[in-house]
Amino acid sequence: MLIDLAINPFDASVPDMLTLARAAESGDVGCVWVADHFSGAVVGRSWSRDPFVCLGAIAAVTDRTEIGVLVANVVNRHPAQLASAANSLQSLAPGRVRLGMGSGAAPGSRFASEHEAIGTELGDVAVRRRRLVDSIAAVRSIWAGDAAFMADATVPGVGFSDLSAVVDESPCPPLIVGASAWPTVEVALELADGVNLRRTGALPELLRRIEEQRHDGFEISVLDWYDDVAEHPGRIDEYAAVGVDRLVLGISPPHDPARLDRLDLAPR
């Protein structure tokens, strides 16, 4: 099992994020991830940082560690923009890029305040999941060199026509779906290369069902919190024992690399 680090961008200093990322690479972290939020208000913070800007900087100061967005919000990012951003990272970090994709927040939730502030239509759970399905298909279509993609009529702003010259010859990076409910896990199993789950009461059942259905090469990762796991390091062995491929540890400011000394981050 690999151990990854998800660097929280809220109230974050990008130079501090880079220092932490370099320390994570020295500690044999598998991947450094950054979340996709443009407002710190969703968690009561004063600002946030753009994930692709941060990941580009992280790519430039690391050599081995993978980098990825966990997860890109497909409500805010057209597949062409998302493909261009991910492919630009590939030019900085060949073979090291992972692309997480998620369906956006539920209306009325705290994370939905970002969308409400800019007048973005979220839709109900069926519409958000349909947008995720079509966004994954559209990203793959762009990498396949298709000029057009027709999205479902319920999800405007996903399709394209007469599109060309978006990505270079690099292959499509691994696509990882952020999921909390089984129907979204099913989307990941059908269309993506892996799924990222949160530590919730539903986790054991989700892991059991995924294990029964996943195809060769399909990756399971779980997001937990660095400080919580540092207090309860036995969790690491528990995750490894139930077939988790990556344990992603979220870490919030202050991004002091000395904090990483609390855990052995090498693969298990």
Is residue 57 predicted with pLDDT exceeding 90? yes
Which position has the higher pLDDT, 108 or 205?
205
Q: How many domains does the chain have?
A: 1
Domain annotation covers residue 267? no
Reply yes or no: is the peptide bond before residue 53 cis, omega within 30 of 0: no
Share of the chain above pLDDT 70, in %: 100
Average pLDDT over residues 235-257: 96
Query: Strand ranges (DSSP E) for the chain?
Result: 2-7, 31-34, 66-73, 97-102, 175-178, 194-198, 219-225, 246-251
- Check which CATH number belongs to the domain holding 35 and give it: 3.20.20.30
Cβ contacts of 167 within 8 Å, gap of 6 or more: 83, 84, 87, 142, 143
Q: Which domain holds residue 200?
A: 2-262
Alpha-carbon span 143 to 169, nearest angstrom: 8
Domain annotation covers residue 238? yes
Q: Which residue shows structure tokens 């590939």?
A: 90
Domain annotation covers residue 54? yes
Is residue 108 predicted with pLDDT exceeding 90? no
Domain annotation covers residue 268? no
Average pLDDT over residues 140-162: 95
Domain annotation covers residue 82? yes
